[in-house]
Amino acid sequence: MPTLVIATTNAGKVREIEEILAGRGFDLLTLASWPDVAAPEETGRTFEENARQKALYYAAATGALTVAEDSGLEIDALGGMPGVESARFGGADTPYTEKFSLIYDALQKRGAATSPARFVCALALAQSNRIVFESRGTIEGLIAPQPSGEGGFGYDPIFFYPPLGQTLAQASDRKRDVSHRGHAFAALRAFLEQHGDLFGA
């Protein structure tokens, strides 16, 4: 069975991705199998640039087919912030509860209690030194008046999704079917089902 490396150290993302790609003919490995490989610096100005950068870097480091993604939250009232800086917003080691406070403070300074917002996920699949597949998933919603829900991770507690009438942190298993990452990786799953023979699956 050919190897597919999931190039993220985020346990929540790994769990979601493994659920989507399970049973597709690949041995799914994470970066935990290569503990000595340092993370690359993310210098891209778009989610797509960062996803390609990471996919190519880890494909070269592991010698295996590699999928990487870059994702984040865009808030209209904040000019699209935090965007590609979502994970590093307020500092890479800042707890998300503090990131939420920074966002609410920034909205308040602009006279906004809430704002249209979206989650974006850009995905890149790399083999050796080339990108062989890309996809992008988005989900439109609003910034919730306050954090709600214990599930999910990252900014999920402050992202209200109107069709479900709740935040993604309250959506439980339904999140996988509607989320930005769910859409992007569903496209990858379909690609692998159709072209898996190219990679030995």
User: Annotated active-site positions, please?
Assistant: 70
Residue type, 59: A
DSSP state string for 54-113: HHHHHHHHHSSEEEEEEEEEEEGGGTT-BGGGGGGTT-TT--HHHHHHHHHHHHHHTT-S
User: What are the tokens at 89?
Assistant: 């917003």
Residues 6 or more apart whose CB falls under 8 angstroms from that of 120 comprise 47, 71, 72, 73, 74, 136, 137, 138, 180
- 199: tokens are 């990679």
Alpha helices in the chain (DSSP H): 11-21, 47-62, 96-109, 174-178, 180-195
